[in-house]
Amino acid sequence: MSNSGAWLTSGSGADPLIILRSDFWGYNSIGIIGSEAACAVDPGVRPVEIVRLRRSLETRRGQRPVSEVVLTHSHHDHIRGWRAFPGARICMPRIAAEKPEEARRRILSSVGAIDGHLGVEVADFVYPQADEAFADSLSFDLGDCPVELRFLPGHSNCTSVVYLPSCKTLLTADYLVMPGLPYCRWEVEPFETALRTMDRWCVEWGVDRIVPAHNAVLEGPAVRTAIAQDLAYFADLREVLSNCLADGAERETAVRRAAKTMGERRGRDVGGRRRQDLDNARRVLRTLEE
């Protein structure tokens, strides 16, 4: 795969979605094309990929402006392309827009570390400045293509997801990036609530496609199966940890044993990403100690 990414969907015909897959972290830059305007969701990762997404949004099957850039949350890989769409409104959750100075410094230093890793240079990158900072939801229309942003904390305290009713597609940010290994970077209980909320939406709205910000697109029955897998993961992890503690294991021993059990339960090697099992176990343990 070249360093400028590969199109997973090309927005042909009735599908308003284009997805540019990066070879870095399986990252999906998402574009939505309406009849009058277009929108970029979490555009990343390399500058060359961001330019490619913008050109495609502006010129594919006719010309249109990019009217909105949506940043689902403030994690460093999701905000890299925020300034690359001149004239677009920057939309993000209020909690992400109002991150305190200390958090911004951490995020910006991670952006710089990835620049170094990729060998790219982005001059004077600054933390996103929102034109629309929403609390619970925000909607706009690109022309026959409504876009609905919903605040849904859990992965982080500032995460949102995007629903596209015209193609029954939910863009889930860092939820469901690897079904069976949930990426909780904040608190477990809101994460589980977010999963249940998405499952309810899948039923109520008839969602039949989920596009996470990394890795594979989920379609049809795979959508609710993936949500069920992540809910089962947390239920099992909680039980394994409780049993370890009941057996008298020390805190850190219980965490390590539980993470190992979750890896074995998965039955496939996920390489370095298994660190997330340890992280999840620590976060679940915290809820058991409350």
Residues lying near Zn ion in the complex (CB under 5 A) are found at: 75, 174
Minimum CB distance to Zn ion smaller for 75 or for 80: 75
Decide whether 75 or 99 has the Cβ nearer to Zn ion: 75
Shortest CB 72 distance to Zn ion, Å? 8
- Single-letter residue type at 258: A
237: tokens are 């992890």
CB of 17 to Zn ion, least distance (A): 20
What's the full length of the chain, in residues? 290
C-beta of 174 vs 192, nearer to Zn ion: 174
Instruction: Give the C-alpha distances (Å, rounded to integers) separating 262 from 190, 214, 221, 243, 256.
Output: 21, 21, 24, 14, 10
Q: Which of 223, 136, 152 is nearest to 194 (CA)?
A: 152
Distance in Å, CB of 28 to Zn ion, minimum: 13
CB of 115 to Zn ion, least distance (A): 18
Beta bridge partners of 102: none
Residue number of the CB closest to Zn ion reads: 75
Residue 245 CA to residue 239 CA, distance in Å, equals 10
The identity of residue 268, as a single letter, is R
Q: State in angstroms the smallest separation of the CB of 77 from Zn ion.
A: 7
167 or 270, CB closer to Zn ion? 270
C-beta closer to Zn ion: residue 34 or 44: 44
**Smallest gap, in angstroms, from Cβ of residue 65 to Zn ion?**
28
When computed from its CA atoms, the radius of gyration of the chain, rounded to whole angstroms, is: 19
Contact 62, 43 (CB under 8 A): no
Toward Zn ion, which CB reaches closer, 127 or 165?
Answer: 127
Cα gap 53→66, rounded to integer Å: 10
Nearer to Zn ion by Cβ, of 152 and 258: the residue is 152
β pairing state of 146-151 and 160-164: antiparallel
In the bound state with Zn ion, the residue whose beta carbon lies nearer, of 64 and 282, is 282
Cα–Cα nearest to 35, from 144, 148, 164, 166: 144
> What is the four-CA torsion angle of 25, 216, 212, 69, rounded to 10 degrees?
70
Taking Cα atoms as reference points, which of 216, 205, 164, 207 lies closest to residue 16?
A: 164
From the CB of 180, what's the least distance to Zn ion, in Å? 18
CB 227 within 8 A of CB 195: yes
- In the complex, minimum distance from the CB of residue 141 to Zn ion, in angstroms, rounded to a whole number: 27
